[in-house]
Amino acid sequence: MAKPSSNWKQYGPVLYIGAALAGGLLLQWAWTQSNRVETIPFSQFDELVTQNKVAEVSVGADRIEGVLKDPMPSGNKLFITDRVDAQLADKLGAHGVTVNGVPSGGLLMTLLSWIAPFVFFYFIWAFLIRGMAGRQGFGGLMTIGKSHAKVYMEADTKVTFADVAGVDEAKFELQEIVTFLKDPKKFGRLGARAPKGTLLVGPPGTGKTLIARAVAGEAGVPFFSISGSEFVEMFVGVGAARVRDLFEQARKAAPCIIFIDELDALGRSRASGGFGGQDEKEQTLDQLLSELDGFDPSSGVILLAATNRPDVLDPALLRSGRFDRQVLVDRPDQAGRLAILKVHAHKLRLASDVDFEQIAGMTIGFTGADIANLINEAAIAATRRDADAVALADFMAAIERLVAGAEKKSRVLGKEERRRVAYHEMGHALVAASLSGVDPVQKVSIVPRGIGALGYTMQRPTEDRFLLTESELVNRLAVLMGGRAAERLIFDGDISTGAADDLQRATELALDMVVKYGMDKVVGDRTYTAPSQGFIGLSRDNLYNAAELTGREIDLGVRRLIDDASKCAREILERRRDDLDRGSAILLEKETLTPAEFKPLQRLTPVAPDAGSTIDPVPLRVAS
């Protein structure tokens, strides 16, 4: 199982230096022994000096080395003795006492005296200084130009295409990469080559990283995984060095896969006049472009990258010959959500009432990561109530928590505030039940949730929609204004701040209708937004090429749409005043209400509109 580095390599320098010091001391000891140096007591040395038999000495701090004029009976002329206090030696010698010095520790103590301080200070540097530098983004001096890519083998990834659901089109395109890694001759038979680079594009949480790891797991090859932000440091040139090191490691491990997550952190479009950190990013990107031009996919190195911001990538990175293929990993449809639910729920103990078809229908717009979180929240909800299995009610509670937020039981509203919130939410619900083209009401509640919501009306779509008509968008505006219309109707025009989020969403929708979809007769059938390739919604800053007079017409068009929506909601609630009062009273009592508990919340069948009417008609009866 290959790994990019091991622990002993990190401490290689200190091991080498320590071994060299130990070897030197051993050589010194061996040289001393080979020269037959004899250790004698200090009293014998004192006697030899008195007898004038010592030719020369070298006096150290704790020992004396010397040469005798004539050899001793053992034949040695070289001697060594431990140094002691002279006055004490004279006194002891006067009484015939043999005096010996205390040894300094010998070879072992000598080795420790040299090596221990070195090892001590090295570990201080390794664990304190280098650790602080790593947290500050400097990294170790010995690894500053090394790639931080994590290498996984097939056994490490433990992910195959069977673990990836809801992105069948992306899996089909990436299956060709697996085929190339397993059988490269199959492509070369007709002169084809594998794509140099494949860019996975999609919103956050759709499984781009997971499917890249599944490619490596299916092919059974090393998988180099690194984030784009890990290439860039404060030192100029470090990012480029890491790119070179990454591709060098990959060539040695070929066939393999290089996966760069969050490519936009590395490959953002270059701007003129940059300096400092911008220069470092541009050098890193230039090095990546150079490596893409230089490596041959036939060598078995496949480059995968992922981003949710393709609109900010440098055009040079996306041209043919570098990233040849872009694969969309989008939010799953209902069949995809059903498959993802089954993949993530296989570890759960499920109750008999769990219907994945129903859950998939209520999770429109959820990504794979959202569904995985939903499964976990449902299991937590079942555990919290000490259940033996996860029931459908637990999944409903998890959806409610993810969509509306957690309940704030500590937030207690006053009597008048609760009454206002009840009318506000019932206004949303009754308008939604009265108009076509809007999502049906699932639940109405006045239980505070999330950060600032004092109540909520939950609407979930019943099917995947890819197109919306003008009338459907107008009706959705009316639903958003239903809460404030109810407050105006019940409280004699004394409105509150509770509609702030409704107004924000209504303004954004109306602005889209005017400047993006061309749905205003005065402004005309044209768009005033910059083209977007990303997954970011429209904002006011996206407006362009609009004259001052046109900008005023856009503002007036947005206001007209919202005013008409408010008028529509008011007319519906005036005609359904009895339902509004009864529903609000029941909601104050129960705090949570569903269409099954209050029939007027069910979708109603409208009558024919009046001549010249611009709004959906008010319903007369409950749909069968």
Q: What is the pLDDT of residues 102-125, one digit of tens each?
A: 455 555 555 566 666 767 776 666
Mean local confidence (pLDDT), 535-544: 46
For residues 506 and 184, the model is more confident at: 506
| Most confident residue range from 47-61, 253-267, 588-602 | 588-602
Helices 548-575 + 577-590 axis angle, to 10: 80
Q: The tokens 């001052």 sit on which residue?
A: 548
Least confident of 48-52, 280-284, 446-450, 603-607: 603-607
Average pLDDT score over the chain = 77
Burial class (CB in 10 A: 0-12, 13-18, 19+), 503: middle
Confidence of residue 550 (pLDDT cuts 50, 70, 90): confident
Least confident of 83-92, 220-229, 429-438, 561-570: 83-92
468 Cβ contact list (under 8 Å, min separation 6): 437
Per-residue pLDDT at 35: 57
Is residue 482 within 8 A of residue 569, CB to CB? The reply is yes
Per-residue pLDDT at 458: 84
User: At residue 168, does pLDDT exceed 70?
Assistant: yes
Alpha-carbon span 334 to 338, nearest angstrom: 6
Per-residue pLDDT at 461: 78
Backbone phi and psi for residue 275, each to the nearest 5 degrees, phi listed first: -155, 165
Per-residue pLDDT at 618: 39
Q: What percentage of the chain carries pLDDT values higher than 70?
A: 71
Q: Domains in the chain, please, with CATH?
A: 35-104 (3.30.720.210), 150-328 (3.40.50.300), 334-403 (1.10.8.60), 415-622 (1.20.58.760)
Backbone phi and psi for residue 301, each to the nearest 5 degrees, phi listed first: -100, 115
Buried b (16+ CB within 10 A) or exposed e, 16-26: eebeeeeeebe
Per-residue pLDDT at 414: 81
Question: pLDDT tens for residues 4-48?
Answer: 444 444 455 556 666 676 676 666 666 555 556 777 887 777 788
Of the candidates 90, 104, 96, the one whose C-alpha atom is nearest the C-alpha of residue 46 is 90
Kindly state the tokens that stand for 4: 């990019």
Per-residue pLDDT at 233: 62
Q: pTM score, two decimals?
A: 0.66
Per-residue pLDDT at 591: 86
Alpha-carbon span 302 to 316, nearest angstrom: 19
DSSP code of residue 22: H
* Catalytically annotated residues: 425
Handedness of CA 89, 91, 93, 99 (dihedral sign): negative
Per-residue pLDDT at 583: 92
